[in-house]
Structure 1
């Protein structure tokens, strides 16, 4: 059930900045005129809901231990609750489709896609899917494309996690045994698979060109991942990848901006102050104007925390930072119906305590996805 009400007393973040007019919602949309119940939100902030363009924090909900998959639909419901508690109203669940196997393999990916399709109509948060395709998984390209069609996936990102340098030198990759155990293979079989995939590298460019062309024709948004050089980015731009996820260097990010790509950075990187992998700090790219979206990556609380952190660092004001977790990611996903609190937009919004920075309420398309005390008392007051 959607809420029909008018909020007053709060500071509201609109497209032009902060103001304090009443904000009305009904029929799941922001309305131009007041109506419905009156809800006093004095002392709180009202902001557009967070649009998370890339998050894989759901994995522990799907399988808290390796092989523990029986409660996956309940796990996804719990994940939706966690998303809402962190102000995320649209969540892109980034699922590997990889030779790495286990929870990154095609079988598990199809399982996740099926569970999300089942749970999506039952929760308020808009759950969307990203298929993260390993570039060298050539024989499974048809299967991946079939999953895109079957599950209505509108976002595909290309990864290459093969340790090419080690393989070309005939050396064993680091952490081989642990990765093999996660995949369900012996270390010998896992290494043999990587060697075989590496040996087919010459076939990869043409196969990717063909697949990218077909995905583009379907209207699928495509992205590159971990670009490290301008040449890397140029290759993907030529294939029609409109998104550059987590570029590793200033040069790669600059190239992405030059070719018109949307740039996604990790919100945890901003919160931590550095990349856990030793790449360029996200804050430095924000400072250079090379960020369109801050994504949760592996930690759902981080988008909101990162927005405030950017203000604290003096890199931008909160209104500008918030666009990187709301309007910016919505636009790169092609979602023009959300990301702003303007009449006609989806009523995706959060109520925030400015002192604690705690999410007090989350509404997605006008439906209550999360509600905490003491704000709950305001909603139910006579």
Structure 2
């Protein structure tokens, strides 16, 4: 491959921002140098920022492309390619595609298995070279379900499962401690009556009683079999965090209280919060605000959750809050990479993947001017 050289750039490193040049060669970062390059063909960044490609650990975006409207099943290959292209356009160069495992085949709110089929299609597109960025899997193990064990058995070490999260959406606890929030959400989505909702809640609670503990044990064991990192979801109390730590959890997705986030830090569990929460100024479920955790130095990783473009925006909001651009950028690059054991990306350093984003800052708003994945421009 021909070298790609960026010059006259402000380069965001681990602990500082330097003015200099970056060279990409054979898909990797070949050199990082202070001072401008005079090599013919170099890209003059004119003072723009260069940051590592963003790393997204939890996004529902693929599911949104697969079902753009309720009960509309979009062709999966087209959905995967659209999802891939959208993420590349907003600076995400590595994604852990979140897919639910564990289905409910009975009751008022049913949903079916899909993850194995979509994963096969995703891996086929990856093998063909059709995808612009790096894709791994994030299996969201729904313990309050009927089929989790059977669905997780269909995956193995070759499926690039990098993250398994323990999801427990039993009504009345964790994310939906406030049943009125759940009722508002479910009734709008599924057009349920009050009686339907009561039946729905009773059914989910019965599933948790019948299968929950066994499914948690299955998910922990299967994550180990895949070689995946384990994450908790919506930890609310110190007891929840203690259980998570006992399982070997390394990432806490969206803890709902300061109490839980504090306990996570005490046990060296990285705290992840959603970018929409940070940008909107609070949780749509009424839980702790991401900004509050950031102000208390309890925020380590940001996820775009359901708005891919929010990931870049959130990093620059944190930069304003903390007055520390490298620290803020690390929440969407270096720290998520380290938390899932990826040592070959997430930083601008010699020998790492050539995943680079060029950004012009306009009145504190990041404007993306180019995205490179493995040294190839993709956005």
TM norm. shorter chain > 0.5: yes
* From 323, 326, 337, the counterpart of 1:319: 326
8 Å CA contact retained: 1:53, 1:91:
yes
* From 197, 203, 206, the counterpart of 2:207: 197
Q: CA deviation at 1:134?
A: 1.1
Mark the CA change 1:189 to 1:148 in structure 2 (over 3 Å): closer, same or farther: farther
Q: Does 1:89 align with 2:93?
A: yes
* From 334, 342, 362, the counterpart of 1:335: 342
The CA distance in 2 between the partners of 1:209 and 1:267, in whole Å, is: 30
Structure 2 counterparts to residues 142-181 of structure 1, below 5 A: 142-149=150-157, 151-164=159-172, 174=183
* From 98, 114, 120, the counterpart of 1:108: 114
With 133-142 and 251-260 compared, the bigger mean Cα shift is at: 133-142
Q: CA deviation at 1:136?
A: 2.7
Q: CA deviation at 1:217?
A: 4.5
With 216-225 and 20-29 compared, the bigger mean Cα shift is at: 216-225
Structure 2 counterparts to residues 261-340 of structure 1, below 5 A: 261-313=269-321, 315-340=322-347
Q: Does 1:248 align with 2:247?
A: no
The CA distance in 2 between the partners of 1:17 and 1:105, in whole Å, is: 48
The number of residue pairs the alignment matches comes to 357
Which SS does the other structure have where 2:224 is aligned? helix
Which SS does the other structure have where 1:278 is aligned? coil
Matched residue, 1:224: 232
**Structure 1 unpaired stretches of 5+:** 166-170, 371-382
Matched residue, 1:69: 73
TM-score between the two structures when normalised by the length of structure 1: 0.84
RMSD, matched Cα: 2.8
Matched residue, 1:12: 11
The CA distance in 2 between the partners of 1:275 and 1:7, in whole Å, is: 39
8 Å CA contact retained: 2:91, 2:357:
yes
Matched residue, 2:55: 51
Q: CA deviation at 1:280?
A: 1.2
Which SS does the other structure have where 1:357 is aligned? strand
Q: Does 1:362 align with 2:371?
A: yes
Q: CA deviation at 1:191?
A: 6.2
The CA distance in 2 between the partners of 1:319 and 1:104, in whole Å, is: 44
* From 39, 42, 48, the counterpart of 2:46: 42
8 Å CA contact retained: 1:230, 1:255:
yes
Mark the CA change 1:296 to 1:319 in structure 2 (over 3 Å): closer, same or farther: same
Listed one character per residue, the Cα deviations across residues 233-276 of structure 1 (whole Å, up to 9, x for unaligned) are: 11111011211100011110111111111211111111111111
Q: CA deviation at 1:336?
A: 0.5
8 Å CA contact retained: 2:5, 2:21:
yes
The CA distance in 1 between the partners of 2:375 and 2:354, in whole Å, is: 5
The CA distance in 1 between the partners of 2:66 and 2:283, in whole Å, is: 26
| 4+ residue runs over 6 A deviation | 33-36, 101-104, 186-189
The CA distance in 1 between the partners of 2:156 and 2:189, in whole Å, is: 27
With 145-154 and 6-15 compared, the bigger mean Cα shift is at: 145-154
Listed one character per residue, the Cα deviations across residues 161-199 of structure 1 (whole Å, up to 9, x for unaligned) are: 12157xxxxx9x8366666579xxx98985674354144
The CA distance in 2 between the partners of 1:364 and 1:321, in whole Å, is: 21
Q: CA deviation at 1:138?
A: 5.3
Which SS does the other structure have where 1:358 is aligned? strand
The CA distance in 1 between the partners of 2:230 and 2:103, in whole Å, is: 20
Mark the CA change 1:218 to 1:84 in structure 2 (over 3 Å): closer, same or farther: closer
The CA distance in 2 between the partners of 1:309 and 1:75, in whole Å, is: 30
Matched residue, 1:374: none
Which SS does the other structure have where 2:161 is aligned? coil
The CA distance in 1 between the partners of 2:216 and 2:298, in whole Å, is: 27
The CA distance in 1 between the partners of 2:305 and 2:329, in whole Å, is: 17
Which SS does the other structure have where 2:183 is aligned? coil
Q: CA deviation at 1:214?
A: 4.3
**Structure 2 unpaired stretches of 5+:** 174-179
Q: CA deviation at 1:349?
A: 0.7
Mark the CA change 1:229 to 1:3 in structure 2 (over 3 Å): closer, same or farther: farther
TM-score between the two structures when normalised by the length of structure 2: 0.85
The CA distance in 2 between the partners of 1:155 and 1:164, in whole Å, is: 26
The CA distance in 1 between the partners of 2:258 and 2:132, in whole Å, is: 38
